[in-house]
Amino acid sequence: MYRPSFPQESHASNQNPVNGQSSHYFARLMTPTEVAEATARQPLQVRQKTEGHWVLCGDVSAPMFSLLKEAQRLNFPTRLTGFNSSGSFGYCVITHQVMRQQHRFVLSLYDPAVRSFLEAKSKDQVTFMLGNDDGDNALLLENPLKPSEFLPLLSMSAEATLEEQREALQELPILMATMGDLLQVPSLLKEYSVQHVSVSVLLPGILDEGFRSALVKAAAV
């Protein structure tokens, strides 16, 4: 499938910390304005699917990507989960599953960009874009979740000061490793157990590129 030319910040860790059963990537959250700029020269079909939408970009393993291409005609399950860490910082996970393959978007609820996204959900739509293991192809997936399902997430984590955001960064390596655990999110399909997880983490805006690389390496240990 044709891949929209979105500027990407997704990079695979190339490490599978749970016996080859998980892969880690960076995600990117694009505002409707950024999406409009990125798709200005894209085919009409791409522009129509993303017009006025936020786009949450990530990557999946090559086997899951192949399954998703076949499953697009089907209503494969999607789940939204929110939780607080032991340090009282809030996170949400958006899970997609096709057969025995799961993908998990992980967002930090204290991140200003994420909070802006959640606040806009009452009027704006979101589209998911999943790439083929950092390759050249990607799929645009419609969001089956209702806006009302996102709103409670805002109350799970208050706006954080810069100092609090820096403190929360200390949790990211273990968060990334934990979300690669097959059992962390139950299977969304009763007839299938999860055998591989692709994790796309949206790193907080306060994090610079040097720390991004260090986090991926730490999560793979």
173-217 residue pLDDT tens: 899 999 999 999 999 999 999 999 999 999 998 876 556 666 666
Kindly state the helix (H) or strand (E) to which residue 161 belongs, with its residue range.
none
Q: Is residue 129 a contact partner of residue 139, using CB atoms and an 8 Å limit?
A: yes
Please list the residues that pair with 101 across neighbouring strands.
Answer: 98, 196
- Going by C-alpha positions, the residue among 189, 166, 163, 153 that lies closest to residue 77 is 189
Question: 3-class SS at 39?
Answer: coil
Instruction: Tell whether the torsion through CA atoms of 136, 100, 106 and 82 is positive or negative.
Output: positive
Q: Read off the tokens for 170.
A: 């200390």
Q: Read off the tokens for 173.
A: 């390596």
DSSP state of 100: T
The pLDDT of residue 45 is: 85
CB atoms within 10 A of CB 201: 27
Query: Crossing angle for the helix pair 209-219 and 172-179, nearest 10 degrees?
Result: 50
- Going by C-alpha positions, the residue among 208, 60, 41, 214 that lies closest to residue 129 is 60
The pLDDT of residue 158 is: 78
pLDDT category of residue 6 using cuts at 50, 70 and 90: very low
Dump pLDDT digits (tens) for 128-181.
Answer: 999 998 777 889 998 888 888 888 898 887 788 889 998 998 998 899 999 999
The pLDDT of residue 4 is: 37
The pLDDT of residue 8 is: 40
The pLDDT of residue 13 is: 43
Is the predicted pLDDT of residue 37 greater than 70, yes or no? yes
Terminal CA-to-CA distance of the chain, rounded, Å?
34
The pLDDT of residue 15 is: 38
The pLDDT of residue 154 is: 86
The pLDDT of residue 212 is: 60
The pLDDT of residue 17 is: 39
Range 20-44 average pLDDT = 90
Q: Is residue 172 a contact partner of residue 142, using CB atoms and an 8 Å limit?
A: no
Dump pLDDT digits (tens) for 90-125.
Answer: 999 999 999 999 999 999 999 999 999 998 877 788
The pLDDT of residue 20 is: 66
- Going by C-alpha positions, the residue among 177, 178, 160, 172 that lies closest to residue 202 is 172
What pTM did the predictor assign?
0.84
pLDDT category of residue 76 using cuts at 50, 70 and 90: confident
The pLDDT of residue 193 is: 95
